[in-house]
Amino acid sequence: MNKQQQDQHWVGVDLGGTKILSAVYDRQFQHMGSKRLRTQAERGCEVVIERLIRSIRQSLEKSEVATEKITGIGIGCPGFVDMKTGLVRECVNLSWKDVPLGEIIREHFDCPVYLLNDVDAGVYAEHRFGAATGAENVLGVFPGTGIGGGAVVQGSIVHGPGITAMEIGHVHVVDNGLPCGCGNNGCLETVASRLAIAAAAANACYRGQAPYLASKTGTHVKDIRSGVLAAAIENGDQVIEDIILNACKHMGVVIANYINLLVPEVIILGGGLVEAMPRLFVKNIRNEVNKHVLSIYRKDFRVAAAKLGNYATVMGAASWAAHKIQTLD
């Protein structure tokens, strides 16, 4: 191993809607240090970028790594990005459109910078280091406020020309369904996201069908989080389990269709809902997939809960930067 390889240090950033997490990794992707800051997105784009730069510098200070020792930076961003140019095409969470983030960060750190969607980064991390290690083809589905999707095919992230792809939450699943935030009707997000599940649960509370949940949250959708939904099921609110099983049914159909097209070896399920109820989601989505997937593929995939938690995006972003640079070499 040469000296240049020994001195490799990678930075990963998770540019969330409310928080920024930066982490530094050595050449073996051992965590060296990290820093978390609030985005303060309400103060505008320039403030968010300044805080992103500060979080990287402070994570380097914690890791005792000089700026000139950075080999590459990867940034996971919610929304649509151009992975080739480093342009944030659109990020609703931050009210950004056409922000040249990669170019700006390169000017400050004088090293290669790679942007990718935050869910793509999380799926890539699970492919490299987590629940899908060793698999070449991976699909990730992350039900949260919406439903994030990402895929790795033959070791590379699936994306379109000049824009990220895999908007699995906006696959049409219900004819004449509810309006979705994207402007269409009947998308997967309208029946299987945490927000959709919470809305149905609040309705059940109003009708007196979920006494435990009603005692904890009332009918306030914003208070119906993943943990309290899991507790409601454990305490006998059968209707809440039925609502989640309905969500699993819709996700299972969409995942089966994807398997029929690209035959991933591993389906990764992540996000707060899955973290709170991993067995419920993994078992029922697997069962639903088996009903709809071609029989010849039934033994060729497995469904697993994500393993890497809150650091998946930063680790995936950093390792994607390493993959891109090493591929160029």
| pLDDT per position as a tens digit, 132-175 | 999 999 999 999 889 999 999 999 999 999 999 999 999 999 99
| Residues 156 and 279 both lie in one domain | yes
Query: What integer pLDDT is reported at residue 329 of this predicted model?
Result: 55
pLDDT band with cut points at 50, 70 and 90 for residue 3:
very low
| Structural contact between residues 182 and 170, judged by C-beta atoms closer than 8 angstroms | yes
| Structural contact between residues 201 and 211, judged by C-beta atoms closer than 8 angstroms | no
DSSP secondary structure code for residue 241 in this structure: H
| Residues 196 and 222 both lie in one domain | yes
Give the residue from 184, 166, 194, 182 showing the smallest Cα distance to 274: 194
- Better-predicted residue by pLDDT, 147 or 1: 147
Q: Provide the number of structural domains found in the chain.
A: 2
| Residues 95 and 219 both lie in one domain | no
DSSP secondary structure code for residue 222 in this structure: G
pTM for this prediction: 0.94
Question: Can you list the pairs that 178-184 forms with residues at least 24 positions away whose Cβ atoms lie under 8 Å?
Answer: 181/146
User: What average pLDDT does the segment 76-96 reach?
Assistant: 94
| Residues 318 and 276 both lie in one domain | no
User: What average pLDDT does the segment 37-64 reach?
Assistant: 95
Q: How far is CA 1 from CA 27, 30, 69, in A?
A: 11, 18, 17
| Residues 159 and 288 both lie in one domain | yes
Locate 44 and state its tokens: 């505008």
| Residues 106 and 198 both lie in one domain | no
Distance from the first to the final alpha carbon of the chain: 15
Tell me what percent of the residues of the chain surpass a pLDDT of 70.
98
Q: Give the angle 158-174-274 at the CA atoms, nearest 5°.
A: 55
pLDDT band with cut points at 50, 70 and 90 for residue 6:
low
| Residues 105 and 77 both lie in one domain | yes
Question: Residue written as tokens 């067995």?
Answer: 279
Q: pLDDT averaged over the chain?
A: 95
Tell me what percent of the residues of the chain surpass a pLDDT of 90.
92
| Residues 117 and 11 both lie in one domain | yes
pLDDT greater than 50 at residue 1:
no
Distance CA 72, CA 120 (A): 18
Helices 194-206 and 238-262 meet at what angle, rounded to 10? Answer: 160
Question: Residue written as tokens 């000017």?
Answer: 107
| Structural contact between residues 300 and 263, judged by C-beta atoms closer than 8 angstroms | yes
Domain containing residue 247: CATH number: 3.30.420.40
| Structural contact between residues 189 and 169, judged by C-beta atoms closer than 8 angstroms | yes
| Residues 108 and 186 both lie in one domain | no
Among 49-53, 91-95, 200-204, the minimum mean pLDDT is found in 91-95
Q: Enumerate residues 6+ apart whose C-beta is below 8 A from 255.
A: 139, 141, 267, 285, 289
pLDDT greater than 60 at residue 189:
yes
Q: Domain containing 203: what range?
A: 134-306
| Residues 273 and 149 both lie in one domain | yes
| Residues 121 and 143 both lie in one domain | no
User: What average pLDDT does the segment 10-18 reach?
Assistant: 93
pLDDT greater than 90 at residue 46:
yes
| Residues 300 and 318 both lie in one domain | no
Locate 112 and state its tokens: 């290669």
Query: What integer pLDDT is reported at residue 108 of this predicted model?
Result: 95
